[in-house]
Amino acid sequence: RVELDKDKVKRIVKHIKQDYHHNWIIDNLPSASIMRDISGTEKKHFSGGFPIGFVDRKSKDPYIFNHVNIQLDYHQPDPNVKAYRVVGFSVEPVSVAHKFSAGYEWDGKEEGGFTKPLETCKKDTAMKLDKVKKSQIVADKQKILFTYDVVWKESPVAWSSRWDVYLSEGHLVPPQVHWYSITNSILVVLFLSLLVITILVRNLRRDIDSYNALSVLADEEANEDEDESGWKLVHADVFRPPQTMPMLYCVFIGSGSQLGLTILLSIIFSAVGFLNPSRRGSLVNAMISFYMLCGIVAGYISSRLYKAFRGRLWQLCTVLTAILFPGLAFFIF
């Protein structure tokens, strides 16, 4: 039981209008939300949790969800063994203005209030949304009671397949959609790559034709025109070290290679199946481990590039590669 004051009302209304959601987890399964659309049709969503309240379309009054129907789906792997596993978790939020039987008023502290029956919430049956007579409004001096019901439902879904509904949004999203997205991304990359290659080949052919034309001219004319245009203008700049802060440039190259290799390894291990969403936190732990191990590659690349620039303080370059990016990230975040 919570009694609202002006500060609490202001904070709750703000969060309701900003569409704040609850995100609950049971046995590493995020909660699916059971909501109803304008027509009253029941919809189940498997991402984003469930909202803390809603705003009435007509009166614009804020209401809070103070009751939840928790539905747990369980599966029995072996009929001969009394052991069950949770394979589904969904929550239906309900807003109801609770009322005690026989006009009882609870101050929220008396022990007897926990056992007093409610007219709006029965012990033996779960609350139905169509049985709610009055929703719980968010206003000053309102006394809100928070309640819940738990409904157990047997399911034929095996424990190894319990994440399938989260990927398909309850079979609303067909598997072909993911293949369409992957195919579209590959085609866009191929098209842009071909476009860049076409432009480079065209410019290269034009320069080669100009060089072939110079070979026909006299030696003096060729020497005069040779330095005017073309790829030969930049051939000496390809391996020229930067004039300012070459060490910082090498540090950025090493840190970038470290991040890129970390992301690549995370994607590979996730695709193979070593990083499973059912093991909560495994992806973060794996990325941290990969990042630490890839520090060896980053130090080698940065120091090797710095020595190619004829730098002498390659030890300092290696140390900066190890502490610059993590230090900035730690300082900012």
Output the pLDDT for position 99.
85
Nearest to 2 by CA among 101, 133, 134, 107: 107
Rg (CA), the chain: 33
Pairwise CA distance, residues 54 & 287, whole Å: 38
State both tokens at 99.
């009322």
Residue 151 three-state SS: strand
The mean pLDDT values, 10 residues at a time, for the chain of 333 residues are 89 92 89 80 83 89 92 90 90 89 78 80 80 88 89 89 78 69 90 93 80 61 53 65 84 92 90 75 88 92 89 88 88 85
From the CB of residue 254, how many other CB atoms can be counted at a distance below 10 Å?
29
pLDDT at residue 217, rounded to an integer? 58
- Residue 294 zone, left/alpha/beta (φ > 0; ψ -120 to 50; rest): alpha
Task: Give the pLDDT of residue 233.
Answer: 64
Q: How many CB atoms lie within 10 A of CB 249?
A: 16
Helices (H), the chain: 6-17, 164-168, 176-214, 219-225, 246-272, 282-293, 295-308, 314-332
Query: pTM for this one?
Result: 0.64
List the Cα angle 53/57/61 in 5-degree steps: 55
- 176 contacts 96 by C-beta, under 8 angstroms: no
At residue 172, the pLDDT reads 64
Alpha-carbon distance 283 to 306, whole Å? 33
Residue 84 to residue 63: CA distance in whole angstroms: 37
Residues in contact with 22: Cβ distance below 8 Å, sequence separation at least 6, in sequence order: 31, 49, 50, 51, 52, 91, 93
Burial of 15 (0-12, 13-18, 19+ CB in 10 A): middle
> Which candidate, 143, 155, 173, places its Cα nearest to that of 90?
155
User: Residue 45 belongs to what H/E stretch?
Assistant: strand 42-45
